[in-house]
Amino acid sequence: MNRWPWKEVFLARHGETVWNREKRRQGRLDSPLTEAGIENAEQVAELVAGMAPDRLYSSPLGRARATAEIVGRRLGIPATVVDDLAEIDHGEVGGLTNAEIEELFPGLAERRRADKYRFRFPGGESYADADVRARRSWGAVHGARPLIVTHEMVGRMLIRNLLGIEPAEALRWNHPHGTVLRFDMVTRRVVLVSSEGSREVFAYGATILSRASN
Active site residues: 14, 87
Please list the alpha-helical segments (H only) found in the chain. 18-22, 35-48, 62-75, 98-104, 108-114, 127-137, 152-163, 167-170
Task: Tell me which residue of 178, 140, 138 sits closest to 154, measured CA to CA.
Answer: 138
CA 208 to chain centre: 17
Using DSSP, state whether 9 is helix, strand or coil. Answer: strand
End-to-end CA distance of the chain: 32
